[in-house]
Amino acid sequence: MENIFRYYEFSDFFKDNSGAFQENEISFSELNEQHFLIFEKKNQDTKTVYNLYVSKYKSKKEIGKEPPEILELLVNDYDKSIPEHRIVLRKYLY
């Protein structure tokens, strides 16, 4: 997963304080001034799960601090070995 975060220029993970992601860690990549892809990192039992969302904020500065205006789950439990998951990510970033 680290390669995906670097390749698509996602931010470092940081704690969400907006309540939108239950205080899990999040990382984002900017699509434009108001739309972002967000990976949520959740620790479940013995594994880490990544959920991918598309979101809308008034500005990048609000991410992790304010709830998003729009938040849509794109992929639950993202797995880079599943082609459909990779396609969803590329669809938004290209």
End-to-end CA distance of the chain: 19
Report the percent of the chain where pLDDT is more than 70.
Answer: 100
Average pLDDT score, the chain: 96
pLDDT exceeds 90 at position 41: yes
Q: What is the mean pLDDT of residues 33-50?
A: 95
Instruction: Count each helix (H run) and each strand (E run) in the chain, helices first.
Output: 2, 5
Question: Which tens digits make up the pLDDT trace of 43-87?
Answer: 988 999 999 999 999 999 999 999 999 999 999 999 999 999 999
Count of domains in the chain?
1
Using the structure block, give the residue that is written with the tokens 């082609």.
83
Residue 26's pLDDT is 98
For 55, the domain range is 2-93
Cα distances (angstroms) measured from residue 7 to each of 3, 17, 21, 45, 93: 6, 26, 24, 28, 11
Q: Which two tokens stand for residue 41?
A: 């990192």
CB burial of residue 21 (10 Å; 0-12, 13-18, 19+): buried
